[in-house]
């Protein structure tokens, strides 16, 4: 019996994990989840493509399973995500005839359809938030709104959301969530690479501007899809501190520490091939990270891993995609592919 991660950190922040509904029926995985974590988030089933695949046809079955699990086990629940450019059905961005709202030949078409799109996102959020408002502790209201490669100066991602509404979809999303979820709800803007420039500053400027415009935001979600060697702990500290200084909460929302650089070489095809020194180097990264989180615990309320054990991670898809032979195994968590404790587990449980 090894000590519980969530118990170790209970005075500092919640410890969360991303799950799929079927994981909750897997006895070993569910047991680890209950023992070591105090918060859950849906890895996929609360995204718009799952919740409202066709206009007006809501599918809550799988999302409900996760909500029920959180309630039964007295865990916090993060909702991921109300608005995103990915895993969103095409119908959102189609006009009443089923044609794309964004038409290069006809720039005015976007303006004509703007209200329709804003109405749709308002309706989606009203329905979802009304259903789950008593169960959710933190909402990812918008996800990945910044794109450093965007051609606009503010670095706003030029998704259909942006092309059709500018930044109005962001305001509409926060206003609607606040109105329906109430004053006590915790509303987050979530993104990746928040540690580094230029994204850090773009995100900061966006959030500061929204706050100045009276948009009610409680915190920044830092996905933290990071690597053993990147980013530095100083960059991470700086980013968390900047948002804390704005008066905001921070949550670490999708933590995983890839054993590869970027792009991932995917050089290991199985977990067994990963050398011990790589797992030791990963433990050092986890060590400095959790020391920082503890040091800054008054401005961090939740640290969520994007999975539980190394037998299920979205990073395997990426490692395989970029690998020469089309197969790559990553190992980003503190539990191994067989649920044993890794050096990274001992690093975050050790007091030295």
| Active site members | 254
d(CA 65, CA 148): 36
**Residues 127-146 within binding reach of ligand XIL (CB under 6 A):** 143
Size of the site for ligand XIL (CB under 6 A): 6
Token pair recorded at residue 125: 């959020």
Q: Which residue is nearest to ligand XIL (CB)?
A: 314
Cβ proximity to ligand XIL: between 160 and 343 the closer is 160
Give the x/- contact pattern for ligand XIL in 21-50, rule: CB under 6 A.
Answer: ----------------------xx------
Task: Evaluate whether 91 touches 52 at the Cβ level (below 8 Å).
Answer: no
Q: Which of residues 311-330 bind ligand XIL (CB under 6 A)?
A: 314
CB of 240 closer than 8 Å to CB of 222:
yes
Binding mask 254-293 for ligand XIL (x = CB under 6 A): x---------------------------------------
Q: How far is the CB of 308 from ligand XIL (least distance, A)?
A: 12
- CA angle 250–253–56, rounded 5-degree value: 110
Select 155 or 332, whichever has its Cβ closest to ligand XIL: 332
Within 4-23, the residues that bind ligand XIL by CB under 6 A are: none
Closest CA to 333 of 313, 303, 319: 313
Nearer to ligand XIL, 155 or 307 (CB): 307
Handedness of CA 103, 112, 125, 305 (dihedral sign): positive
DSSP assignments along 262-289, one per residue: SS-----SSGGGS-HHHHHHHHHHHHHH
- E strands, the chain, in order: 14-19, 39-42, 76-83, 138-143, 187-191, 219-222, 225-227, 249-258, 300-305
Rounded Cα distance between 324 and 317, Å, is: 13
- Return the number of the residue (230 or 314) whose C-beta is nearest ligand XIL: 314
Closest separation between CB of residue 143 and ligand XIL, Å?
5
Based on CB atoms, which residue is closest to ligand XIL, 58 or 314?
314
CA dist 257 and 330 (Å) reads 9
Closest separation in Å from C-beta 298 to ligand XIL: 26
Burial 30-67, CB ≥16 within 10 A → b, else e: bebbbebbbbbbbbbbbbbbbbbeeeeeeebebbebbb
Nearer to ligand XIL, 6 or 43 (CB): 43
**Shortest Å, Cβ 24 to ligand XIL:** 16
Tell me: does residue 346 bind ligand XIL (CB under 6 A): no
Tokens 């395989």 belong to 320
User: Using alpha carbons only, how large is the chain's radius of gyration in Å?
Assistant: 20
Which of 223, 239, 250, 323 touches ligand XIL by CB under 6 A?
A: 223
CA angle, 271 then 275 then 279, to 5°: 85
CB of 18 to ligand XIL, least distance (A): 7
Nearer to ligand XIL, 271 or 314 (CB): 314
- CA–CA gap between residue 87 and residue 50 (Å, rounded): 8
Q: How far is the CB of 254 from ligand XIL (least distance, A)?
A: 6
Q: Which of residues 194-213 bind ligand XIL (CB under 6 A)?
A: none
Nearest approach, Cβ of residue 337 and ligand XIL (Å): 17
Q: Which residues form the interface with ligand XIL (CB under 6 A)?
A: 43-44, 143, 223, 254, 314
């Amino acid at each position: 019996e090894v000590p519980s991660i969530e118990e170790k950190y209970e005075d500092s922040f919640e410890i969360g994990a991303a799950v799929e509904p079927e994981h909750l029926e897997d006895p070993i995985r569910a047991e680890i989840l209950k023992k070591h974590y105090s918060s859950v988030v849906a890895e996929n089933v609360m995204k718009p493509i799952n919740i409202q695949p066709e206009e007006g046809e809501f599918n809550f079955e799988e999302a409900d399973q996760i909500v029920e699990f959180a309630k039964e086990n007295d865990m916090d629940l993060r909702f991921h995500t109300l608005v995103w450019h990915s895993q969103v059905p095409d119908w959102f961005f189609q006009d009443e005839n089923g044609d794309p709202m964004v038409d290069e030949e006809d720039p005015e078409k976007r303006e004509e359809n703007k209200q329709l799109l804003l109405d749709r996102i308002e309706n989606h959020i009203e329905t979802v938030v009304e259903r789950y408002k008593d169960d959710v502790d933190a909402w990812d209201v918008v996800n990945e709104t910044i794109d450093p490669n965007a051609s606009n100066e503010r670095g706003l991602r030029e998704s259909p959301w942006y092309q059709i509404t500018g930044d109005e979809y962001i305001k509409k999303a926060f206003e609607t969530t606040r109105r329906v979820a109430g004053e006590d709800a915790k509303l987050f803007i979530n993104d990746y690479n928040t540690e580094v420039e230029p994204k850090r500053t773009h995100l900061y400027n966006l959030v500061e501007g929204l706050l100045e415009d009276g948009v009610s935001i409680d915190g920044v979600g830092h996905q933290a899809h990071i690597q053993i060697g990147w980013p530095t702990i100083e960059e991470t500290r700086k980013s968390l501190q900047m948002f804390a200084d704005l008066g905001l909460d921070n949550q670490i929302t999708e933590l995983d520490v890839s054993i590869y650089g970027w792009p991932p070489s995917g050089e290991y095809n199985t977990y067994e091939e990963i050398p011990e020194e790589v797992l030791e180097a990963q433990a050092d990264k986890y060590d400095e990270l959790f020391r920082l989180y503890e040091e800054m615990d008054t401005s961090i309320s939740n640290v969520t891993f994007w999975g539980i054990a190394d037998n299920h991670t979205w990073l395997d898809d990426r490692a395989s995609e970029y690998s020469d032979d089309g197969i790559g195994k990553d190992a980003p968590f503190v539990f191994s592919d067989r649920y044993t404790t890794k050096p990274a587990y001992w690093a975050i449980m050790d007091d030295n």
